[in-house]
Chain A
Amino acid sequence: MAKEKDFEEMLDNLEEIVQSLEKDDLKLDESISKFEEGMKLAKECNKKLEEAEKKITILLNENGEVKEENFVAE
C-alpha cells in the first residue's frame, strides 16, 4: 500500500482552504493561489475516488501458498 498523499489529508487541506477564504482576510494574490491550490486538491480527491477499481477476492491457502482469486458470494 504505497503511502502517497493520504486522501483524508487532502480533504482536510481542502476544508482549511475554504475556511481561510471564508475568513476573507487574505490579500488578492494569496486568495488566488489558495483558490488554485484548492481546485487542484478537489480534482485530485475526485481522481482518487474514480481510480479505485472494484475487486472482491478471496485468499485461498493452496499447500502452504496463499493465492488470491475473485470471489462471488453465493
Chain B
Amino acid sequence: MKIEPISVSELNKYMKEKVAEDEYLKSVFVRGEISNFKHHYTGHMYFTLKDENSLIKCIMFKSSTATLNFVPKDGMKVNVLGSVAVFERDGVYQIYVKAMQEDGVGDLYAKFNELKDKLEKEGLFDEEHKMKVPMMPKVIGVLTSNTGAVIRDIINVSTRRNPNVYIRLYPVPVQGPGAAEKIANAIYFMNEKKLADVLIIARGGGSIEDLWPFNEEIVARAIYNSEIPTISAVGHETDFTIADFVADLRAPTPSAAAELAVTDIFDLEDRIGLYKNRLQILLRKKLELLRLRYEKCMKARVFIEPDYIIKENYLKIDSIVKELESHINSKMKDYKLKTVEKITKLDAMSPLKTLARGYSVVEKNGKLVKSKSDLKKDDIINVRLNDGKIDAKIC
C-alpha cells in the first residue's frame, strides 16, 4: 500500500498539539542570556535566550512587558517565566514569556537591603556624624575612573566655577571584581596622606551589577571613617547606593557633586565687594551724622557770639530789676492809698470831729455813758469837750 505523505502544516499542527498536551511545558522557569533582542513597534519583544550550548526563541507580548522593572538588553542574564508552544508557520517551538527578571538581580537586591539595614542600625547613616563640606577646599580629591565623561564633567564644572581650582584625581575602577577594595584603599590613602579637603566619589549610570562596588561594606566603612568630607555621585539621579547613604553629602550627578564641592568664586568676589561697599557707605553715613550734629552745635549762638550770654544775663538782670522796682513802686502806691484811705476813714469816725461840732463825750469811771439810765444823782462823770475835759456831778 502506498504511504500518502502528509503536508508540512499537518506535521506542524501535530507537533503543536503534542507540545500543548504536555503539562510541564505549560509553565516553565528558564534562566539564560538575552541576545538579538528586538522591541517590535507593535510593542511585542522578540529575543533569543541562550546558554553556552544552545538557544531558544522567545516572544513577550506587549501586555506582559508592562510588568518589567528593567530594560532588557543583549548580554543580560535573565530568568523567564512562560509556556512553550510550537509556532506552526515556522515549525519552531518557542517560549511565550509572561514575566522576566534579571538573573541574580533578585539576590542582589536582597543583599543590598540586608546590608543597608545592618549599616543603618549601626548608625553609619546618622545625620549627626555627617561633616560639613568646607566652603573653600584647597584641594578637591576625586575618586573615579580616569577615562570617560565623569572626570571630564567634574573638571569642566569645577574650573568654570573656580578657574584656580586644584583637583587631585585618584583613578579607581568603578565596576567589576576588586573595584570595591581599590575604592576603599583610595579613600584611606587620601585620608592618611591628607591629600584633599573634600572627596568626590563618582561614577556614571549602570545596572545594579555595575554599581555594585558602591554597595560593598568595605567602601561604606571607608567613607564612614574618612575624616575628609565625602560627596557621593554614583549612578543615575534615581540610583541610590549604600555609598550615597553613608557619604556626608549625596549629589544626583557628578556635575552636581562638583558644584557642591567648588564654590563659585565669582559669587564670592561679588559678595566681598558688596560687603566692602556696605562698610564704606555705613561709615560715611555715620561720619555724616556726627558731622551734622557737630555743625549744629557750632552754629549755636554761644559760639558765634560768646559774650551774648553775658549780655543776655545783663538784660535779664535789668529786666528783673525793673520788675522789682515796678513791683515795689506799685506796692508803695498801694500802701499809700490804703493808709490814706484808712486815715480818712478813721478821721471820719474820729470822735474829735464830733466834739469839734460841739458834742461832748461823757464817761463814768472811764466807761462811756450811752444812756440816761446809766446815771443817777450825785454820780461823778467826766465830760470831754473839743478843747478839754471837765468833771461834773449829776444833780
B282 interface residue (CB < 8 Å to A): yes
- Is B194 a contact partner of A50 (Cβ separation < 8 A)? no
- Is B167 a contact partner of A18 (Cβ separation < 8 A)? no
Mark each residue of chain B from 103 to 144: 1 if its CB lies under 8 Å from any CB of chain A, else 0: 000000000000000000000000000000011101100000
B-chain residues with CB within 8 Å of residue A31 when the two chains form the complex: 282-283, 286
CB closest residue in chain B, given A32? B283
B-chain residues with CB within 8 Å of residue A56 when the two chains form the complex: 155, 159, 165-167, 169
Bound-state CA distance A17–B146 (Å) is 45
Bound-state CA distance A58–B171 (Å) is 7
Given A11-B135, A38-B279: A71 touches B286 (CB 8 Å cut-off):
no
- Is A53 a contact partner of B164 (Cβ separation < 8 A)? yes
A-chain residues with CB within 8 Å of residue B282 when the two chains form the complex: 18, 21-22, 24, 31, 35
- Is B286 a contact partner of A57 (Cβ separation < 8 A)? no
Find B135's partner among A8, A15, A53, A54 (CB 8 Å cutoff).
A8
Given A42-B272, A54-B163, A54-B165: A8 touches B134 (CB 8 Å cut-off):
yes
- Within the complex, the shortest CB–CB distance from A33 to chain B, in Å, comes to 11
Find B152's partner among A48, A55, A73 (CB 8 Å cutoff).
A73
A-chain residues with CB within 8 Å of residue B290 when the two chains form the complex: 28
- Is A52 a contact partner of B165 (Cβ separation < 8 A)? yes
Find A52's partner among B138, B275, B278 (CB 8 Å cutoff).
B138
Size of B's binding interface in residues, CB under 8 A:
42
CB closest residue in chain A, given B150? A73
A-chain residues with CB within 8 Å of residue B285 when the two chains form the complex: 24
Given A46-B272, A49-B265, A49-B269: A35 touches B164 (CB 8 Å cut-off):
no
A-chain residues with CB within 8 Å of residue B279 when the two chains form the complex: 17-18, 21, 35, 38-39, 42
B-chain residues with CB within 8 Å of residue A39 when the two chains form the complex: 276, 279
B-chain residues with CB within 8 Å of residue A59 when the two chains form the complex: 168-171, 195
A-chain residues with CB within 8 Å of residue B268 when the two chains form the complex: 11, 45, 49
Size of A's binding interface in residues, CB under 8 A:
37
Interface residues in B240-295 by Cβ distance below 8 A to A read 265, 268-269, 271-272, 275-276, 278-280, 282-283, 285-287, 290
A-chain residues with CB within 8 Å of residue B139 when the two chains form the complex: 1
- Is B164 a contact partner of A28 (Cβ separation < 8 A)? no
A-chain residues with CB within 8 Å of residue B152 when the two chains form the complex: 73
CB closest residue in chain A, given B290? A28
- Is B168 a contact partner of A57 (Cβ separation < 8 A)? yes
B220 interface residue (CB < 8 Å to A): no
- Within the complex, the shortest CB–CB distance from B198 to chain A, in Å, comes to 11
- Within the complex, the shortest CB–CB distance from A36 to chain B, in Å, comes to 9
CB closest residue in chain B, given A7? B136
- Is A42 a contact partner of B166 (Cβ separation < 8 A)? no
B-chain residues with CB within 8 Å of residue A28 when the two chains form the complex: 286-287, 290
B-chain residues with CB within 8 Å of residue A55 when the two chains form the complex: 166-168
- Within the complex, the shortest CB–CB distance from A30 to chain B, in Å, comes to 10
B-chain residues with CB within 8 Å of residue A52 when the two chains form the complex: 138, 162, 164-166
B151 interface residue (CB < 8 Å to A): yes
Beyond known contacts A35-B282, A46-B269, A59-B168: 9 more, CB 8 A cutoff = A7-B136, A11-B268, A18-B279, A24-B282, A49-B268, A50-B164, A52-B138, A57-B169, A58-B169
What are 21 contact pairs spanning A and B, CB under 8 A? A1-B139, A8-B136, A11-B135, A11-B268, A11-B271, A11-B272, A14-B275, A18-B278, A18-B282, A21-B286, A22-B282, A24-B282, A31-B286, A35-B283, A39-B276, A39-B279, A42-B272, A49-B268, A50-B164, A58-B168, A73-B152
